[in-house]
Amino acid sequence: MTTQARIRLNKYQFADLIDEVDGMCPLCAKELLIRKSGNPYSSTLAEAAHIYPHSPSAQEKITLSGVPRLSDNDESLDNLLMLCPTCHHEFDHPRTREEYLRLYSFLFNNIDNKTIQNILKMYNQYSEKQIFIVLDNYLGTDNEDIDEILRTKTRLYLSGDKMLFGKDWRT
């Protein structure tokens, strides 16, 4: 079995991934860029972690079977998230379904409103299918088409401390 070569990030891709997490490890909040006084350059504590593993083992394939994926290409930038070395190691060893879904939801929850609008427009084209989309803290826009989709297609509203199936989905 041949394995796909790991992506080599250029400085712009690296900067985009650091920006995506606001320069902080999303798991422990440790700063990923350190600037020492008197030194004009930053040193990095960041490592690009594969959310869905690069070349998953047989056990990882079983563990992660059926989970949603951010990309079909494991080497896509969409499948990478900057972590500190400690959290990267803990995430990878052993890889669990819960931790995978935690990092998946971190990336998925940081989608901008324009992308959400595009998802809703695409969803609206498939009226014969049942599609479950959860939006929390959607700020909305002045887009009447999107407002109409939300007005006519929304089936369930949760607010305040209400929970669906006894689970707090806001975390």
Residue-level pLDDT at 1:
45
Write out residues in the chain with pLDDT < 70, as ranges.
Answer: 1-4, 38-42, 108-116, 127-142, 155-171
Residue-level pLDDT at 83:
94
Backbone angles phi, psi at 3, to 5 degrees: -105, 150
pTM > 0.75: no
Q: What are the domain boundaries of the chain?
A: 11-109, 112-171
Residue-level pLDDT at 161:
63
Nearest partner of 72 among 149, 170, 141, 4, judged by Cα: 4
Residue-level pLDDT at 6:
83
Contact 70, 9 (CB under 8 A): no
Residue-level pLDDT at 50:
93
Handedness of CA 124, 129, 130, 134 (dihedral sign): negative
Distance of alpha carbon 61 from alpha carbon 69, whole angstroms: 13
Contact 81, 20 (CB under 8 A): yes
